[in-house]
């Protein structure tokens, strides 16, 4: 049976032989053609832990949100990689504890790219593409087939991680891939969009960001999403989502969806296709300059980083509001994969109140 952990504590700690890419670690990187006209980029940082062999430490796969935000860019330089955006060594990098595999997923994200509009259209296709990526990864680096592997994620990355983990588990069990997937971490994860969106107004009211009038105004526009959900019209629900986003920005005076304690100047919140689930606006220019400059040159990559990201979101927009709770429940009830749910208390997009609702609604929650 899967095990639900509501508190995430990582203390795996990561050295070795590989190529010298960009930064202080030994690395590997490359492209995999996961299907016709669809090419996925991956970048591995070998652990720098004081071990005799890097295989003594686990492999962590990191999935960014969006969809369309880049793991090799945002996750790497803003969160868990060995260097920050200013190229200073990060004291708290996960590379000190584990081997870290950053994947620009879905295809079209970051350095990944497609031809002939071959984007993934739903979570099922995203998972199938990722399966092909991992088959190629294990073929090139077979030593990792016996290394304990964990998938960690952020925001929409959590939605993708759920289906990816379940597919990897099933394919491994069927003998179609050899891997040691042990767990999946769902961080601020967009696994039940309705639970998240419906708690935006009460959450903002509870911290004094809006008053009763503002709460009523937001609830009025979110009620239309409920109706679309009940009809199974996720395409319409996605369209309505942007209206809720706009109303929240107006009623909460430009609240930052990533940190409710701050405001965005002149209420210039991004609304419309592309939306707030992507990385913070302030970081985009600096990271893009780095990825299309020094990193691109060091890794000898010809593609322009991020030039298809907007299209990635558009391609899955009809699937954007579809929940994957049933996938997480299958992981919990029908596999031995551990599931960790963790949340940032200042995040609005996937606020803690909504995440608690999600956890309590799991059919298996009474077992824990």
Q: Is the pLDDT confidence value at 3 over 60? A: no
Q: What is the pTM of this model?
A: 0.89
Which of these ranges, 10-14, 137-141, 213-217, 297-301, has the smallest mean pLDDT? Answer: 10-14
- Per residue in 331-341, pLDDT (tens digit) is 999 999 999 99
The overall average pLDDT reported for the chain is 89
pLDDT at 362: 77
More confident call, 1 vs 364? 364
Count of CB atoms situated within 10 Å of the CB of 300: 8
pLDDT at 18: 64
The confidence band for 153, taking pLDDT boundaries of 50, 70 and 90, is very high
> If you average pLDDT over residues 298-319, what whole number do you get?
94
Secondary-structure class of domain 4-192+285-367 per CATH: alpha beta
pLDDT at 15: 33
Confirm if 327 and 309 have CB atoms less than 8 A apart: no
> If you average pLDDT over residues 262-283, what whole number do you get?
55
CA nearest to 40, candidates 326, 225, 308, 224: 308
Q: What is the DSSP letter of 303?
A: S
Q: Is the pLDDT confidence value at 175 over 50? A: yes
Query: Cβ neighbours of residue 216 under 8 Å, at least 6 residues apart?
Result: none
Q: Is the pLDDT confidence value at 260 over 60? A: yes
Domain segments of the chain: what residues? Answer: 4-192+285-367, 193-277
pLDDT at 334: 92
Structure tokens at 264: 């965005």
The confidence band for 276, taking pLDDT boundaries of 50, 70 and 90, is low
- Per residue in 49-93, pLDDT (tens digit) is 999 999 999 999 999 998 999 999 999 999 999 999 999 999 999
pLDDT at 146: 96
Element (H, E) at 37: none
């Amino acid at each position: 049976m899967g095990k639900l952990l509501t508190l995430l504590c990582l203390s795996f700690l990561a050295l070795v032989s590989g190529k010298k890419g960009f930064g202080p670690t030994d690395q590997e990187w490359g492209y995999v053609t996961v299907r016709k006209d669809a090419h996925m980029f991956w970048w591995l940082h070998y652990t720098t832990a004081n071990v005799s062999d890097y295989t003594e430490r686990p492999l962590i796969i990191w999935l960014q949100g969006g969809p369309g935000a880049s793991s090799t860019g945002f996750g790497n330089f803003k969160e868990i990689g060995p260097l920050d955006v200013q190229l200073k060594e990060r004291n708290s990098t996960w590379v000190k504890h584990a081997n870290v595999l950053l994947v620009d997923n879905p295809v079209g994200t970051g350095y990944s790219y497609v031809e002939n509009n071959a984007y993934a259209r739903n979570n099922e296709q995203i998972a199938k593409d990722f399966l092909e990526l991992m088959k190629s990864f294990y073929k090139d680096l077979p030593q990792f087939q016996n290394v304990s592997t964990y998938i960690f994620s952020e925001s929409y990355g959590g939605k993708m991680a759920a289906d990816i983990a379940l597919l990897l588990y099933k394919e491994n069990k069927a003998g179609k891939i050899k891997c040691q997937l042990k767990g999946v971490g769902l961080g601020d994860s967009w696994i039940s969009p309705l639970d998240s969106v419906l708690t935006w107004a009460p959450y903002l009211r509870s911290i004094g960001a809006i008053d009763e009038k503002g709460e009523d105004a937001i609830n009025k526009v979110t009620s239309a999403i409920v109706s679309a959900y009940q009809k199974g019209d996720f395409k319409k629900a996605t369209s309505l989502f942007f209206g809720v986003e706009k109303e929240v920005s107006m009623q909460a005076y430009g609240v930052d969806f990533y940190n409710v304690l701050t405001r965005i100047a002149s209420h210039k919140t991004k609304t419309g296709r592309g939306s707030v689930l992507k990385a913070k606006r302030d970081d985009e220019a600096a990271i893009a300059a780095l990825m299309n400059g020094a990193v691109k040159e060091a890794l000898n990559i010809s593609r322009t980083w991020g030039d298809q990201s907007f299209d990635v979101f558009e391609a899955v927009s009809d699937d954007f509001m579809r929940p994957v709770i049933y996938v997480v429940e299958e992981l919990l009830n029908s596999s031995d994969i551990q599931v960790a749910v963790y949340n940032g208390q200042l995040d609005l997009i996937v606020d803690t109140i909504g995440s608690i609702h999600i956890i309590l609604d799991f059919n298996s929650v009474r077992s824990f």
